[in-house]
Amino acid sequence: MATFAYRAVNRVGQTDSGEVQARDHSEAVERVRSLGIVPVEVKERPARRELAPKLRGSSRTRTETTKALGELGVLLNAGLPLDRALALSLENIEQPLVHAEFRRLLGQVREGISLSRAMASRPDLFPASAQAVIEAGEANGKLGDALARVERIFAQQEEMRQLVTGAMIYPAALMILAVAVILMMLLYVVPQFESLFASAQDKLPASSIALMAASKGLREHGLVILGVVVALGFGIRQTMRQPGVRAARDQAILKLPQFGVLVRAIEASRFARTLGGLVEGGVALPDALAMSCRAISNTLIASAMSEVAVQVREGAALTPLVAATGVLPRMAVGFFRTGEETSQLGMMLERLADVLERDSKLRIERLVAILTPVITICLGGAVAAIIASIMTAILGFNDLAVGQ
């Protein structure tokens, strides 16, 4: 599936623009026509990964944008016109980048451009999914509700991101401490015993000889080793960007015990939250599915759900397709089925996202509870092994001295 940008003319002769997902140019033209507009220009956009509704940049930028959109929605629901509401929202924005972007939005709105179209020029701050919800809100006269929905989606995504990041801080700190302690032992502690063991290298146990060699090699070639490690890390990073390697990695991640289930739950909650918000915002289901796939970072899951979006556009039922992929948690199928049967798919998907996020929090806490003692034990084991190698050599010398 590729992304095609289009310019078209609607029934009243006004110019419209946007994006559609299609396999090729001819299919993209047909999909534009199916929107009830006449295509003027349809061009394929370069492939890009957009994790909607994930705002790029710093956490402060994302938080400030989310808060500004929420305030704008409140002001619109209070009855203020859009330009006045934007002007008042600007007064409460402190982050310079966000302030500049909302000032640009205000200028374009005053020129007669719709809010959704004004946001289209900055997809890094306002993803296509957010633009679609806002465009639907403009069409049905409920822009304030649409902005409130976008703010809720962004806030939930940011909360999950901060949860994952915060949970990894302590294990990461332990890992750094472990590496620092081992380096200190090899660079400063072990060399203190080299002169003691220099005269009896052939009588040292194998573990002590290996420890001395590692310490000497690290001191003499430390910069070279560091350069090799950095180059290796960069090479692995570049290799992982290759589509085939990335797909294999993502598939392997889903098979990992505990971690694979966690990744599946997090990806499913992002997808459900985005899709639910789009459906509730009045976006057509096939378009909502295509946009929601961009919220998925795992290529295996994204590919499977993109194929579902294509088949739904061709008239197939949603729930059987989702169940057939097997990439989402089992509970997700029940929520999809209930949502379709009750014609409340958007609401059920948002509830599914809530359930999956709670489950993800519990799994993250459990994973951190496992990782922390494991890292601590590994650190203790490494230090103990170094000390044991030194003590074994010292005790061997004592035995030799007593024997003589």
pLDDT digits 0-9 by tens, 44-66: 776 544 433 344 456 778 788 88
Residues 372-376: what's their mean pLDDT? 83
Mean of pLDDT over the chain: 80
Q: Inform me whether the pLDDT recorded for 5 exceeds 70.
A: yes
Higher pLDDT: 25 or 79? It is: 79
Say what the pLDDT of residue 258 is. 80
> CB of 389 within 8 A of CB of 211?
yes
- CATH number, domain 59-158: 1.20.81.30
The Cα-based distances of 403 to 154, 208, 292, 396 in angstroms read 75, 21, 77, 11
The residue-averaged pLDDT of 255-283 equals 85
pLDDT at 13: 62
Residue ranges covered by each domain of the chain: 2-44, 59-158
For residue 110, give Cα distances in angstroms to 87, 103, 119.
Answer: 11, 11, 14
Looking at residue 231, its pLDDT comes to: 92
pLDDT, mean of residues 199-227: 79
Global confidence as pTM: 0.66
Q: What is the pLDDT, as a whole number, of residue 126?
A: 80
Q: What is the mean pLDDT of residues 17-30?
A: 72
Distance CA 190, CA 387 (A): 9
Residue 365 has pLDDT above 80, yes or no: yes
Please report the pLDDT score of residue 302 as a whole number. Answer: 86
Residues of the chain with pLDDT > 70, as a percent, come to: 88
pLDDT of 34 reads 67
Per the CB < 8 A criterion, the answer to whether 205 and 393 are in contact is yes
Smallest CA-to-CA distance from 304 within 264, 346, 255 is with 264
pLDDT digits (tens, 9 = 90+) for 291-350: 788 778 888 888 888 888 888 888 888 889 988 988 888 888 889 999 888 888 888 988
pLDDT of res. 198: 67
Q: Is the pLDDT assigned to residue 351 strictly greater than 60?
A: yes
Quote the pLDDT of residue 317: 87
Scored b (16 or more CB within 10 A) or e, 293-302 reads bbbbebbbbb
Longest CA–CA span in the chain (Å) reads: 107
List pLDDT tens digits, range 76-133. 888 888 888 888 888 888 888 888 888 888 888 888 888 888 887 777 778 777 777 7
Instruction: In whole angstroms, give the CA distance from residue 239 to residue 244.
Output: 9
CB-CB contact of 101 with 125 (8 Å): yes
Cβ neighbours of 56 (radius 10 Å): 12
